[in-house]
Structures are given as C-alpha cells and as structure tokens.
Structure 1
C-alpha cells in the first residue's frame, strides 16, 4: 500500500525532526519526498543545508519541501514545529522524531545538566512533538503515523555514552505508551520505533573497526541510512503495525560472532 492509499490523499504531509544536516533524518525526509510526500524539514543550526536539500527535492520529486528552525531544548518549539507544518500544508500525516544528540563522554565527567540535556532533546522533545502531532492526527479521518528513531544498542550499551543510552532507552517505552494513548483515541493513529544498527559511520572510524562491525552482523555489511528510511516508510504505510520497536541492525542484536553461543553441555 502506498502512502497515498494509506492516508487517503494524493499529497500526504510529513515532518521529520533533525533532518537538516546530512545524516539519517535527512535521508528519511528525502525518501518520504521521493514517495510523494510534502515534507517539512526541521533544523537547529543547519538551516542552510536544509534549504538546499528542500530546493533540490522540489525539483526532483515535484513535491513541496519547507524548512522549520528551532532548538528542541525549548518545549515551546515542539508545539511550534507541528503547528507551523500543519498551518502551511493543512494536514499532518507523518511525524518522524529523528533529532538526537550524542557525544562520547566518560562517566566520571558527566554532569547532571548534561544528562538532563540528553533527555530533553532525545526523549522529552520527541514525546512533546508526538503529543502535538497526535492532537492533529486524531482529528483526521485516516489518523496518522508517528515513527520514533531509537537505537539497537540500548540493550547492549557501550562505554562512554552513559548519558546517551538512558535517553534513547526511554524511546522504547514512550513508543508503546504513545501507541496506546493515541490509538485509543483514534484507531488510525499508529506509533512505532525504528532502532538503527551500525549505519552512517564517521570518517574517523578505522578499517579495523569497520571490519569488526561487519563481522558482528548476520548481514555481513554496514547498514545505510537508506535501510533505515525504508523501514520508516514501511511503518508509515502498514496500518496494522503499532507499538513496535523494529531493529534495523543486520541481525547484530541477536548474533554472537565466532560461534560464541550458549548451548547444552555435551561433554
């Protein structure tokens, strides 16, 4: 089923937070534009990059793309982003909460203010944006779809990210809670989560590390932002999936490399 069929319009509308800079959120927004959505990109400090992307997509895909600016550290911005997108397009069918911050920090150096900032941007803002979008979607005949971007590694966290992982772990419970809250008000409103694995590695990642990451997946490759974008589109299109946290990690979350698996003792 296409997005047009799902939402009962030739011109569905999507808002993707954290889609200004050339990372996963940008690729998600581009994929939704390619699939026929009008798109609202959200940026904080990367407005120029977002505007260039919006202009390019309008030429390539024939759909409108606008750019909304604001820091998700401010609660009021969450409502404002949703209101601006809805006011401009007259509807809102998809919200993707992709904005996030992360930076390696030793546990000994983390401050309370830093922890609170991680939760504000990675968790609280996502919930507030979803709540604002839900107010609109519950009034639309076909409802709407909200997709939160989590992280597969919340179940296997690694060192020096002790503020980041708790803030991302909250996304899973939040997704289920919002699915119940909004789905109870309108059966056409669905809330899901995508948990990316190793995708879009930094330029400073060594060949040795890349090889280790490849070896740690069943797919035997590094993922791409396009893999994540395709999963987001699927969750937007499928009207019988809600409250799900979908790992897009090449099987890394379930795989024990080199046969390091627990089995019965046959000795």
Structure 2
C-alpha cells in the first residue's frame, strides 16, 4: 500500500482538518497526519488560542508547516474560505477531514426549529460546502484527493436526548455516498469516505462506574482513543480502492447490545 507521500506524489501532502483546535478527535487526526509528513491546516472557531498553541507543538515535533484557519461554520461563506486559504498558502490540497461538530444533550420537548437548523448548518451543510470546495481543487490535481467525514457510530442506534444531533450526523452517511459518486465524475481519484467513532473520548464528568459500563458495552471490552479514529482516517486516505464507505471505529459497540445499556458518549 502506498504511503501518503507516494499516493499524492508529494513529500508533504496537505491536509485541512476542521474542528481541530480543541483537544478532541480533530486535533488527534491533525497531529497524526502531521506525523506522516503532511503539512496541516488546522481550523478553529472558539478554540483559536488552543489551536495556535497546538500548531507550535506540531511544528516542533513533526517538522511540518502548520497554519490555523478560523471561522464559524454556520456562516455559509466560511467553508469555502477555509479551503481557499489552505490552497492559497500551500498550493495544493490533498486531504480534507470534516471533523467539526456540535452536540449537547437536549430533551425532545425543548428542541426548537432554530436548534435543529444550527445542528444541520454546522454538522452537515458545512461539511458539504467544505467537501465541494475541496473537490473542485482536488479534481484539477493529477492525484486527486481524499475527503473524510467524521460521523457517529450511534446513528443506527441513537440514544436519548440527542434528537437534534443524530439526524445531522446521519445525513453525513448518505452525503458521503452521494458525494463519492458526484466527485468521481470530476476526477476518479477524488474519493469520499466516512469514519464513525464509537466511545473514544469520554467527558471528564463521566464517573468511573459509567466508564466501566461503557467499556463493557464494546466487544473488545475497553474504551477506544482518538488515535484509533486517526488511524482509520489514514487507512481511508491511503487505500485508493475504497470510496463511499462509512467505517465504524467503535470496538463492536454498534452490533452489541448489553442488557439495559443506555449511555451517552462524547466521541469528540
């Protein structure tokens, strides 16, 4: 299997990772891609200071160039601007990871139409706009490019109090397949895939008792890490015969239903 450098015919492929400012899954993906020799465009909205500090660390540890792009993804002009800034700075764009997302528990009766729209604006529409803008650049590149959406393992088995969040994440799965078809007509080397993390990043407020229950809810008997997601992103980027796929990275949680198990998980 070719390395990223071989696949994209560049010693330093370029990756834009949205939602990589805060120390969550997006940050882990950006750091991992940097360790593979990629130049990185991080993205942050409210976590700009954290992103700038992380950029310094990534530069020093992996000897790659890192820039920070900024903006709220519920502004329709921001996604294309992030892509444009990345391309203008580096002169290419090989990988896009749509990792930015919002989520919080909310009782069904309290969800407003505006809240639903905000979930779709950030979790779904922004990913579409970033992907389309990236594909327009990638289609002109001899080696195309790889677009990865970050979904959620539980869209097939949603849990309570996230009735606004899950529809926005479920739409990413259909969008992944649809855009894989669309972008292939622009350049067959532009691929679109999706990673669906399971319990890989638990909130600090989760008690040890609940952590144990979450661990035993997986077939592998443990909680995963953001690095498991980052490695899946690497695989989907490197394997150029895979497109339109939604890959669960959940320790088997999606096919396993322990009696009485009902937990809310923060996937990053």
- Asked if residue 112 in structure 1 is aligned to residue 102 in structure 2, the reply is no
Aligned equivalents of 1:38, 1:214: Cα separation in 2 = 35
Are 1:223 and 2:215 matched, yes or no?
A: no
* Alpha-carbon displacement from aligned partner over 1:170-199 (angstroms, at most 9, x marks no partner): 000000000000012211100000000001
Measure how far apart 1:60 and its partner are: 1.0
Distance 1:53 1:199 in 2: 20
The runs of 5 or more residues in structure 1 that have no matched partner are: 261-267
The residue aligned with 2:210 is 209
| CA distance in 2 between partners of 1:44 and 1:17 (Å) | 9
String of CA shifts for 1:224-263, please: whole Å, max 9, x gaps: 00000000011011100000000000011112337x9xxx
Structure 2 equivalent of residue 8 of structure 1: 9
Q: Deviations over 1:109-162 (max 9, x none)?
A: 000000000000000000000000000000000000000000000011011100
The answer as to 2:242 corresponding to 1:234 is no
Q: Alignment partner of 1:214: what SS?
A: helix
Q: Secondary structure in 2 aligned to 1:75?
A: coil
Matched, 1:42 2:24: no
Q: Please provide the CA RMSD for this pair.
A: 1.0
> Which residues in structure 2 correspond to 1:172-187 (within 5 Å)?
172-187=173-188
Paired residue secondary structure (1:253): helix
Corresponding residue number in structure 2 for 1:264: none
Equivalent residues in 2 for 1:1-267 (5 A)? 1-257=2-258
Count of aligned residue pairs for this structure pair: 259
Question: Deviations 1:212-234 (Å, cap 9, x if unpaired)?
Answer: 11111111100100000000011
State which structure, 1 or 2, has the greater radius of gyration over its C-alpha atoms.
1
Structure 1 length normalisation: TM-score?
A: 0.96
Q: Deviations over 1:59-117 (max 9, x none)?
A: 11110000000000101001100000000000000000000000101000000000000
- Partner secondary structure for residue 246 of structure 1: strand
Give the ranges of 4+ consecutive aligned residues of structure 1 lying more than 6 Å apart after TM superposition: none
Consecutive unaligned residues in structure 2, runs of 5 or more: 262-268
SS at match of 1:257: coil
Q: Distance in 1 between matches of 2:80 and 2:57?
A: 27
Aligned to 1:263: none
